[in-house]
Structures are given as structure tokens and as C-alpha cells.
Amino acid sequence: MSDNIYSRLAPIFEEVFDEDDLEVTAELTANDVAEWDSLSHIRLIIAVEKEFGVKFRTTEVNNFRNVGELVEMLQAKTSA
């Protein structure tokens, strides 16, 4: 199931960060992507919300440390 989530996240990351060859892995963090700033973070979250039909709380938006934790939150929200 998480493979499916990563495959759906990949085009979102490419679009938000304008990077065609960005590899979306569980370990990926904001520090690894030059364009990942406050604005991009918001755009990423909103695009993810739209793609997966979920809504993140402010604490969730600000507290995930890497993509892996984002995926865990998505799994929890989409299987609930």
C-alpha cells in the first residue's frame, strides 16, 4: 500500500519543487531539497490533501520530519 502512496506522491513532489528527477523516499527531508521552504511546504501539503482526499491539522503539517512520516500519516488517514 505504501508503494502506491509513494507513486502517487512522486508527481506531486515534481510539480511543487520543479524537479523532474527528485527521488521520493522515506528518508527525504526538507533539508535535502533546495526549493523546500515554507511556501513549498504549504503547497505540498495542500496538493497531498487534494490527491488523497484528506485534511491535515496544523500540528501534523508542521511536525513530520521526513516523507516516511508523511506517508505514515497518510496511511492512517486513508485506512481509517
Partner 1 sequence: MTDQQNNSVEVPPQVNRLVALIAERNPTHAKHLDRVMPRIHADEYQHLETYLEYCLESGLELSYLADCYLLLVADAVNELAYFQREGNYRYSTFAEVADHVYFNKEYMDQYMYGLAISLIFWSSHMEIHRYFEETLPLDKTGKYLEIGPGHGRFLMSAMERSSFNAFVGIDISETSIAQTRAVLSHFNPSPDADLSLVVQDFHETELPAGSCDAVVMGEVLEHVEDPASFLSKIRELAAPEAHIFITTCVNAPQIDHIYLFRSLDEVRDLIESQGLAIVSEKAVPYEGKTLEQCAKHALPVNVAYVLKAV
In the complex, the residues that contact partner 1 under the rule CB under 8 A are: 18, 30, 35-39, 41-43, 45-46, 49, 58, 61
What is the Cα–Cα distance from 60 to 62, expressed in whole angstroms? 6
Closest approach of partner 1 to the CB of residue 40, in Å = 9
Confirm if 13 and 35 have CB atoms less than 8 A apart.
no
Closest approach of partner 1 to the CB of residue 13, in Å = 15
Cβ distance to partner 1 smaller for residue 15 or 23 = 15
| Torsion angle in degrees (nearest 10) through CA of 43, 46, 47, 50 | -170
Closest approach of partner 1 to the CB of residue 44, in Å = 10
